[in-house]
Structure 1
Amino acid sequence: MSKNLKITVLTPEFYSYGALLIAGILQEQGYPVKLQKGFGEVIDADIVFISLQSTIHLLKYQKEISSMDTFKIVGGPVTLSPQLILDCLAVDLVVVGEGENTLYDILKVFENNPIPNVSDFKDVSGVAFKKDEQTIITGKGTAHSLERPLPLVPSDISSENIRGANVYLETHRGCPGNCGFCGVPCLFGREVRSRSLEDILNEVKYLLSKGVRKIAISGGTGSLYGSNKFKNVDEEAFIELLREISNLTGPKNLTIPDIRVDLISDQILEAIHQYSNGWVFFGIESGSDRVLRHMKKGVTVDQVREAVAMAREHGVKTAGSFIVAYPGEEEEEFQDTMDLADELMLDDYFVSIAEPIPGTDLGDEVSQLSLEDNILFQDSLKYKRHGLSIAEERALDLMVESYIFRSFPVPMSQNLLKNLLDEVKSQGDHIKSVTHLIKKYPTS
């Protein structure tokens, strides 16, 4: 491949860590590469790597992606269903699974032929393409060692706000969990692979030198860092990780956003209190043990209660995510979730309607569920004048009540209510579109 060919790495709405990583690899290999956020600027490149984070992007950016007159390669979490991407988007190639090793093989094809046909990639493991209206999938990308060049960091990175952070820092990959709604084990596998502490700290120093101020630890459940077995947390490795990163960023600028309620300890919570901004984000999801079992969450409501109580004992603030309208959720079970949310009195709440990610158990279940039996498509009588469905009704009710439940209640104003109603409608429209999409292109 000619080193003079221009390459753009495009991320639609925010600078994803994966996009920064791929751009860094390309730069390290000596290719002129540009990192671009959004479609506002004209794409002037021979090759565009497009990092897509959400299934809805397949519909939202169809026009923009189709209009690009260049060789287009898609990667990111959406690649769990490569056929879906190729059917929705006018792109040449999809990177399936982890992209680093596959990227090197793709570059070799371009080295042999700067203007390749998609069939030239037939011997590259971990890609998908269309040939004669047939989707060809050469397999899934091989697991990467996680040793890699430094990411390419854009000059405006300090303006990013991804759940309070400028950037998410990958510390490990994989999760032994089996949550039916989560794409992490589907994408990265169930074995936990951790980066070396030295490698992570070198990257933190580099990010800070490029203008990053606030860093969040990524990789799924944060406390799995250093471990290779589920429910066998390496406390010392995780605590050392927090301490050493915090020494560089300062505690207020370090966030540990996601931890399972069954993968904590007094030592871990004390380290979070001491070395970070003092928040944990628990995936609580439901107040019904039956629904949690159906989600394959692997935890119980009592474990949720215990984890929140432990966090409070160490002065750690707690936020919780809740998923409503999971297939089969009964009204009484939703009320159990409302009751639990009220009982816990968390410091912050995040409520979402169950979103079926293609390639997950939830995605498969929703693709086989008739629209008539899906409460996302059943009209709400309570909010009929707002045109909400039963699923949207449940989300709105929990959102509204969460402002009363929390440790410091927030008065419900007309403006706040309108914002919540808009959020629920946006979620509902998004997930309805995804549902239609995966029913048209099922993965199982």
Structure 2
Amino acid sequence: MMRTLFLNPPSYAGFDGGAGARYQARREIRSYWYPTWLAQPAALVPGSKLVDAPPAGLALTDILPLARHHDLAVVHTSSPTFTGDVRVAEALKAENGDLTVGFVGPKVAVQPEESLQASAAIDFVAREEFDFTIAEVAEGRPLPCVDGISYRDRGGTVVHNPDREILEDMDLLPFVTPVYKRDLRVEDYYIGYLLHPYLSLYTGRGCRSRCTFCLWPQTVGGHRYRTRSVASVLAEAALARELFPQMKELFFDDDTFTDDRGRAEAIATGLARLGITWSCNAKANVPRETLQALRDNGLRLLLVGYESGSQQILINIKKGLRVERARRFAADCRELGITVHGTFILGLPGETKETIQETIRFARDVNPHSIQVSVAAPYPGTELYRQARENGWLPEDADGATLVSQDGTQLAALSYPHLGHTEILESVDAFYKRFYFRAGKIAEMSAELLRQPDMTARRLREGTEFVRFLNRRARTRKPA
């Protein structure tokens, strides 16, 4: 068995680029998702080590000594960080010339040949789901015998091995919580709308929705929702409670946990018996009776991708959602006392100044407890990326680096004849200000602090970070 290092490498300060991040970027407030996609194969490889550098505050100088004590380094990469991650791989190889380096993640899954050609330091890349692929490499199996990878042969020619069969029995995957306990410090992981400290898990992979912008289903997870058994999920939830008594909330990071409503209710019932407060992703079409059943069994918060308040844009991106249905869902959540964190995207195909205002009005009307406003990010491998290339919405020389600024903050990469990228980016700040800086929302958030005085210090920190973020971005847009 090769001594294996699983690495989410150092990157931009405060950059959330781990394998659980929806968008690899530096957020408005400090936010870190768990590197679950790395923890899963790490759990399959005995004696492995998982290092998540950004949340731990580790620099390259902290990572380099690890190269001398490992035979295999598995590096998670993304389009925005790829160039920097290649430099990390080259530095690791310089430290230990015998080290085998493999890259994983959606970037290399859809661009395996280009990724390998970027540097001789990359020995192989794993495509799509890579859990058992990496386990076989770590066992010492020769690269030509491992399905699901691309590599260079002795002559330097890139070879693409056959695809690995998609994993059907999700219960074959071991639990990730022991890896979290062994290698991570849970207090390092913050999400503004989740209780702290929180823990996140996947109970399944894949998403039935066909949203044109969404990265994971189009590159790694697929569009079929494959799930762990209820018993498996509840067993790991019980273990999480045992290993992390400080855990205040368990978050299920499946793209749409509520797609299988009967299963979601069964899991919720078991979580209630365990006394666990929990949250999950959801589409804004969950029936009221399901919402009530989940709430009655410990559900606290739903992370909901509204994306837009324009019905035409929802059609353009194949969201499969009606605006009026989303309004009814929001009203149901409010009446049932379920907290909602809503996410929105500006700059999607069909966006205009008018639809931006329509989305802002929609957000104020449905009034989730908190929001995240992103700009449309055309990641390679997505239908949005293909559309952008075909229609000239993306510069010809654009690469992953165009998705973020020099400090890792999201940029508006897309530009339309009627709506430029500067207008899109400026609209993000206007969205935030019109949503949060109003009397009703300020009163609502002040009341939260009165009800939960232990949250005061955290909210003040997050508020300060948020204001600094807006001011910093405003300064970067000023003409020289």
TM-score range, shorter chain: 0.7 to 0.9
Q: Normalising by the residue count of structure 2, what TM-score does the alignment of the two structures yield?
A: 0.73
Q: Is the 8 A contact 1:101 1:142 kept in 2?
A: no
Task: State how far apart, in whole Å, the 2-side matches of 1:103 and 1:371 are.
Answer: 34
Distance 2:279 2:41 in 1: 24
Is 2:192 aligned against 1:160?
A: no
Distance 1:72 1:249, change over 3 A: farther
Of the three residues 363, 372, 388, the one matched with 1:350 is: 372
Letter in 1 for 2:87: K
SS of alignment partner, residue 244 of structure 2 = coil
Cα deviations by residue, 1:311-357 (Å, 9 ceiling, x for unpaired): 11211122211100123411111121122122222211110011112
The structure-2 alpha-carbon separation of the partners of 1:406 and 1:367, relative to structure 1 and needing over 3 Å to count, comes to farther
Counterpart CA distance in 1 for 2:117 and 2:436 is: 42
Worse-matched range after superposition: 321-330 or 126-135: 126-135
Q: How does 1:50-65 map to 2 (within 5 A)?
A: 50-52=75-77, 54-65=78-89
Aligned-residue sequence identity (percent) comes to 20
Question: What residue number does 1:77 align with?
Answer: 106
Equivalent of 1:243, from 269, 274, 287?
269
Seen in structure 2, the aligned counterparts of structure 1 residues 25 and 331 have a Cα distance that, compared at 3 Å, is same
Could you give the per-residue CA deviations for residues 78-115 of structure 1, whole angstroms, max 9, x where no partner exists? 3233234334453111111111332344345x25xxxx
Contact 2:302 2:340 in 1 (8 A): yes
Q: Distance in 2 between matches of 1:177 and 1:191?
A: 9
Residue 6 (structure 2) pairs with residue 9 (structure 1): yes
TM-superposed deviation, 1:57: 2.0
The one-character-per-residue Cα deviations of 1:379-435 (angstroms, maximum 9, x if unpaired) are 9xxx9xxxx812211111112212136952279x99854422436899x9xxxxxxx
Residue 212 (structure 2) aligns with:
180
Aligned to 1:441: none
Corresponding residue number in structure 2 for 1:129: 151
- 1:220 and 1:425 mapped to 2: Cα distance? 35
Q: Give the corresponding residue for 1:231.
A: none
Match of 1:361 among 372, 383, 390: 383
C-alpha contact 2:151 2:159 (8 A) present in aligned 1: yes
User: Which of residues 429, 436, 448 in structure 2 aligns to 1:403?
Assistant: 436
Q: CA deviation at 1:282?
A: 1.4
Kindly state the Cα deviation for residue 249 of structure 1 after the two structures are TM-superposed: 5.1
Aligned residue identity for 2:382: T
Residue 366 (structure 1) shift: 2.6
Q: 1:96 aligns with which of 127, 132, 143?
A: 127
3-state SS of 2:324 partner: helix
Size of the aligned set, in residue pairs, is 390
Deviation at 1:22, TM superposition (A): 0.9
The CA distance in 1 between the partners of 2:242 and 2:474, in whole Å, is 39
Aligned in 2, Cα 1:59/1:21: closer, same or farther, shift over 3 Å?
same
CA distance in structure 1 between the aligned counterparts of 2:371 and 2:309, rounded to whole angstroms: 14
Q: Secondary structure of 2:180's match?
A: coil
Equivalence for 1:220: 255
Whether the 8 Å contact between 1:179 and 1:297 is mirrored in structure 2 is: yes
Question: Does the Cα contact within 8 Å between 1:153 and 1:210 map onto a contact in 2?
Answer: no
* Pick aligned residue for 1:284 from 293, 302, 306: 306
Cα 1:315/1:7, change in 2 over 3 Å: same
Q: What is the 5 A alignment of 1:265-276?
A: 265-276=287-298
Counterpart of 1:194?
227
Please name the residue that 2:163 is paired with: 140
SS at match of 2:115: helix
Shift of 1:126: 0.9
> For the structure 1 residues 260 and 55, does the alpha-carbon distance in structure 2 shift closer, same or farther, using more than 3 Å as the test?
same
Distance in 1 (alpha carbons) for counterparts of 2:415 and 2:290: 43
Q: 1:335 aligns with which of 352, 357, 365?
A: 357
**What CA distance in whole angstroms lies between the structure 2 residues aligned with 1:17 and 1:170?**
8
Sort the Cα spacing of 1:274 and 1:358 in 2 relative to 1 into closer, same or farther, 3 A.
same
Counterpart-to-counterpart distance in 2, 1:406 and 1:304: 24
CA gap of 1:192–1:317, structure 2 versus 1, over 3 A, is same
Matched residue type, 1:272: L
Partner SS, residue 441 of structure 2? coil
Whole-angstrom CA distance in 1 between matches of 2:104 and 2:475:
28
Please report how far the alpha carbon of residue 265 of structure 1 lies from its aligned counterpart in structure 2 after TM superposition.
Answer: 1.4
SS at match of 2:330: helix
CA distance in 2: counterparts of 1:425 and 1:57, whole angstroms: 24
Q: What amino acid is the match of 1:95?
A: A
Separation in structure 2 between the aligned mates of residue 273 and residue 424 of structure 1, nearest angstrom? 40
How far apart are the structure 2 equivalents of 1:423 and 1:276? Answer: 38
Secondary structure of 1:168's partner?
A: strand
Measured in 2, the distance between the counterparts of 1:171 and 1:423 equals: 37
TM-score by length of 1: 0.79
Gapped regions of structure 1 (runs ≥ 5): 112-119, 228-234, 429-444
Q: CA deviation at 1:37?
A: 2.0
SS in 2 for 1:275: coil
In structure 1, distance between residues paired with 2:318 and 2:414 = 24
Q: Residue type matched to 2:102 in 1?
A: I
Letter in 2 for 1:51: H
Q: Identify which of 342, 361, 368 aligns with 1:320.
A: 342
Q: SS of the residue aligned with 2:304? A: strand
8 Å Cα contact 1:281/1:319 also seen in 2 = yes
Instruction: Verify the 8 A CA contact 2:3 2:138 in the aligned structure 1.
Output: no
Amino acid in the other structure paired with 1:71: T
Equivalent position to 1:106, from 132, 137, 147: 137
Gap regions ≥5 residues in structure 2:
10-17, 19-31, 54-59, 94-98, 399-411, 447-462
Distance 1:159 1:423 in 2: 28
What is the CA–CA distance in structure 1 between the aligned matches of 2:475 and 2:269, rounded to whole Å?
A: 41
Identify if the C-alpha distance between structure 1 residues 133 and 292 changes in structure 2 by more than 3 Å, giving closer, same or farther.
Answer: farther
Equivalent position SS for 1:179: coil
Contact 1:221 1:259 (8 Å CA) reproduced: yes
Which 10-residue stretch deviates more, 367-376 or 273-282? 367-376
Secondary structure of 2:296's partner? helix
Relative to structure 1, the CA distance from residue 327 to residue 246 in structure 2 (aligned partners, 3 Å threshold; closer, same or farther) is: same
